[in-house]
């Protein structure tokens, strides 16, 4: 993406986040976060007590104590707002850069009479037809209905190399804001103003349309219930204290409530969700909702296409295999002759391989040769030389038929060599000159490097990988073994993909899938996590809940890792937040009742200086821990592929045990500083 990668503590973002932190103090905004809203209410009450200590009855503490509690609570709320504003600020910085890409361009609107009328892109409506020439900016999202052009999509994807788009097929979709580099295209507009891909992207990136995910809503509800429970606990402490002849001041009760409720996770929860969306966006993936990102973290099965996803998709010549009675040099030269005029990637790879084997030839010899193009009917291509020589390469059965028609004999080992190549996961092309077969070309679709290791990581997480391919079972089995996928479906049709997804879902599993063609749309719509390629058709993109701007199908692996990291981060910080309340109990409860019940001194294991020092130390730690955890919320907890049980044990050890130990140390250090000042 063309967005500039901002650092977490970029000066401009931090300054704006500080300003927004104060704006978010509005109670109408704060009420959306029940935990921090309770803290803000407590802040207002302690502010009143700071100005008028006897406002709610006689007070037994000093004005300075009330002011100290007020300031600590105020900064607690401010720090929580800062975490959310910082996460939003990074998204807005990305959105601002995208807005620079979005411009009011001039569109060449085709009239019914065939004439062209220049209008603003904002006047275009769904169904309008526009012409875009070389050098023009595409005015709106649409489908190419005529023409072929090279398109610069760097403004959206950040990729400098232009891509070829043409009418029909799986690469006919174009995005507003991109530029035509060569030729021209006729585009049918598919969106109304304000609904374009770029508009949706800006809205999602800056968080304007971000909705809380089901897990986030559930956790918010849990935190609200815990807050309500502790509120009742504090209320019941008042008569208990009266019975013990202990006077509890209102500021102290508020301090106790704030320390008991899960303020740490309450203050960071929104920031975690926003940062998770931002991480996906920085990977050049547009998630239609936070729910899609979360679902990626819960995936059980991943279905992937073979061509272009697991393999590069370009079959390249790997070897020339001569048949019995033919030398390697003769087979190489025959393959070279069949491809000197072949401009396809396969043809060029054959010539390159022959050149690397030092085959001698001159382009002049083939200047006047008749080119025989490949067709679906003949399944062959080649040359007819001026001396009448016919050179062909193609599918083995097609070459057999060609040689038979030339009254030639078929070699006994041709079928065996072709079968060996198919079993190895390659594609065999037979080569013949007139009535004689010279050998077989081994075309290989190479598995992308590093995928086997990535699939092993997914397996360690308990995620099953399934490859779908139209290849025969022999080729599919070989590629599946080389790539390291768990299962494969050979000779797969669109309905086979849907059936596979439904079969997994019937077992209670969540399924992820990638696709780019119109034929992928039904299966994408059935899957739980649906990643469509930006270069694909509009039907695929409309069926998806995520769009990969780089059109890299393997990006789904990274999206799943980001989704898991989001869930792990939320769980880890929730564990830490609840665990560190334990230390606060040991700090505050003895301090409140130690005068009436000296036996509680046994619980003062931190040996805090005084009741007021203990309360203020716990309160200060409660406030300070929020900004200290912002980097974890923004970047995500460190993630390693492993099983759910191992992951749970690891996080309980690190964040659970750490959540208990860190507050004991922090509160004691703060108490030592305060005892020297008070």
List binding-site positions: 342, 346, 374-381, 393, 516, 520
Q: Where are the alpha helices (DSSP H) in 283-427?
A: 290-297, 328-339, 345-356, 396-405, 414-423
Q: Are 424 and 315 in contact (CB under 8 A)?
A: no
Q: How far apart are CA 617 and CA 594, in angstroms?
A: 17
Q: Are 312 and 445 in contact (CB under 8 A)?
A: yes
Q: How far apart are CA 380 and CA 429, in angstroms?
A: 9
What residues are paired with 307 via a beta bridge? 311
Q: Catalytic: which of 136, 152, 199, 305?
A: 305
> Which residue ranges are tagged as binding site for Mg(2+)?
516, 520
Q: In whole angstroms, what separates CA 193 from the centre of its chain? A: 27
Catalytic status, residue 671: no
Kindly state the DSSP code that residue 507 receives in the 8-state scheme.
T
Q: Are 535 and 175 in contact (CB under 8 A)?
A: no
CB atoms within 10 A of CB 11: 8
Q: In whole angstroms, what separates CA 454 from the centre of its chain? A: 15
As given in the structure block, the two tokens for residue 401 are 């038929």
Q: In whole angstroms, what separates CA 496 from the centre of its chain? A: 26
What residues are paired with 303 via a beta bridge? 466, 513
Q: How far apart are CA 538 and CA 545, in angstroms?
A: 13
Q: Rounded to the nearest 5°, which phi and psi values hold at 151? A: -120, 130
What residues are paired with 381 via a beta bridge? 393
Angle between helices 555-579 and 611-635 (to 10 degrees): 180
Per the rule left: phi > 0, alpha: psi between -120 and 50, beta: everything else, 462 is: left
Kindly state the DSSP code that residue 57 receives in the 8-state scheme.
S
For residue 556, give the H/E element and its range.
Answer: helix 555-579
Kindly state the DSSP code that residue 122 receives in the 8-state scheme.
G
Q: In whole angstroms, what separates CA 420 from the centre of its chain? A: 40
Q: Rounded to the nearest 5°, which phi and psi values hold at 140? A: -160, 165
Residue written as token pair 């997804």: 501
Whose CA is closest to 272, among 528, 569, 39, 470? Answer: 569
Maximum Cα interatomic distance, the chain, rounded to a whole number of Å: 117
Q: How far apart are CA 206 and CA 277, in angstroms?
A: 10
Whose CA is closest to 256, among 580, 577, 591? Answer: 591
Q: What b/e string do you get for 510-537 counting C-beta neighbours within 10 Å, with b at 16 or more? A: bbbbbbbbbbbbbbbbbbbbbbbbbbbb
Q: How far apart are CA 173 and CA 180, in angstroms?
A: 13
Active site members: 305
């Amino acid at each position: 993406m063309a967005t500039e990668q901002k650092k977490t503590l970029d000066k401009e973002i931090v300054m704006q986040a500080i300003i927004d932190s104060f704006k978010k103090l509005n109670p109408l905004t704060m009420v959306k976060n029940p935990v921090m809203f309770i803290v803000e209410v407590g802040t207002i009450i302690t502010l009143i007590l700071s100005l008028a200590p006897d406002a709610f009855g006689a007070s037994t503490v000093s004005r300075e104590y009330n002011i100290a509690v007020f300031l600590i609570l105020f900064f607690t709320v401010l720090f929580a707002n800062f975490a959310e504003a910082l996460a939003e600020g990074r998204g807005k910085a990305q959105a601002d850069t995208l807005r620079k890409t979005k411009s009011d361009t001039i569109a060449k609107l085709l009239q019914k009479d065939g004439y062209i009328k220049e209008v603003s892109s904002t006047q275009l409506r769904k169904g309008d037809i526009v012409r875009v020439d070389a050098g023009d900016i595409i005015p709106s999202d649409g489908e190419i209905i005529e023409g072929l052009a090279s398109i610069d999509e760097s403004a959206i994807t950040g990729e400098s190399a232009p891509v070829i788009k043409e009418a029909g097929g799986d690469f006919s979709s174009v995005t507003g804001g991109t530029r035509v580099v060569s030729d021209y295209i006729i585009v049918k507009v598919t969106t109304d103003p304000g609904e374009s891909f770029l508009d949706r992207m800006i809205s999602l990136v800056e968080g304007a349309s971000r909705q809380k995910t089901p897990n986030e809503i559930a956790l918010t509800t849990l935190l609200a219930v815990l807050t309500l429970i502790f509120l009742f606990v504090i209320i019941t402490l008042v008569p208990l204290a009266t019975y013990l002849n202990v006077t509890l001041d209102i500021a102290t009760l508020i301090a106790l409530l704030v320390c008991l409720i899960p303020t740490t996770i309450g203050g960071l929860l929104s920031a975690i969700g926003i940062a998770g969306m931002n991480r996906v966006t920085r990977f050049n993936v547009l998630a239609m909702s936070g729910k899609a990102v979360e679902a990626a973290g819960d995936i059980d099965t991943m279905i992937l296409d073979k061509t272009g996803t697991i393999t590069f998709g370009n079959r390249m010549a790997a070897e020339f295999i001569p048949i019995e009675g033919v030398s390697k040099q003769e087979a190489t030269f025959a393959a070279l002759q069949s491809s000197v005029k072949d401009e396809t990637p396969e043809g060029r790879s054959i010539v390159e391989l022959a050149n690397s084997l030092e085959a001698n030839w001159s382009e002049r010899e083939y200047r006047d040769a008749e080119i025989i193009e490949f067709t679906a009917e003949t399944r062959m291509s080649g040359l007819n030389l001026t001396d009448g020589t016919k050179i062909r390469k193609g599918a083995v059965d097609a070459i057999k038929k060609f040689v038979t028609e030339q009254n030639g004999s078929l070699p006994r080992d041709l079928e065996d060599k072709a079968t060996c190549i198919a079993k190895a996961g390659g594609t065999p092309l037979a080569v013949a000159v007139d009535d004689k077969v010279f050998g077989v070309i081994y075309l290989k679709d190479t598995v992308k490097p590093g995928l086997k290791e990535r699939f092993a990581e997914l397996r360690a997480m308990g995620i099953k990988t399934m490859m779908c391919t139209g290849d025969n079972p022999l080729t599919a089995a070989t590629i599946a073994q080389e790539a390291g996928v768990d299962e494969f479906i050979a000779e797969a049709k669109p309905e086979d993909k849907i059936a596979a997804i439904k079969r997994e879902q019937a077992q209670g599993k969540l399924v992820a899938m990638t696709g780019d063609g119109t034929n992928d749309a039904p299966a994408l719509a059935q899957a739980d996590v649906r990643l469509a390629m930006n270069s694909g058709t509009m039907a695929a993109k409309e069926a998806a809940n995520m769009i990969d701007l780089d059109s890299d199908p393997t990006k789904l692996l990274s999206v799943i890792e980001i989704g898991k990291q989001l869930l792990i981060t939320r769980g880890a910080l929730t564990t830490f937040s609840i665990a560190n309340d334990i230390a606060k109990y040991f700090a505050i409860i003895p301090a409140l009742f130690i005068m009436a019940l000296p036996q509680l001194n046994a619980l003062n294991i931190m040996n805090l200086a005084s009741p007021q020092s203990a309360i203020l130390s716990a309160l200060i730690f409660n406030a300070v821990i929020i900004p200290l955890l912002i980097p974890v919320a923004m970047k995500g907890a460190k993630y390693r592929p492993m099983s759910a049980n191992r992951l749970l044990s690891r996080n309980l050890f690190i964040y659970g045990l750490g959540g208990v130990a860190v507050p004991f140390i922090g509160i004691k250090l703060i108490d030592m500083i305060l005892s020297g000042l008070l």
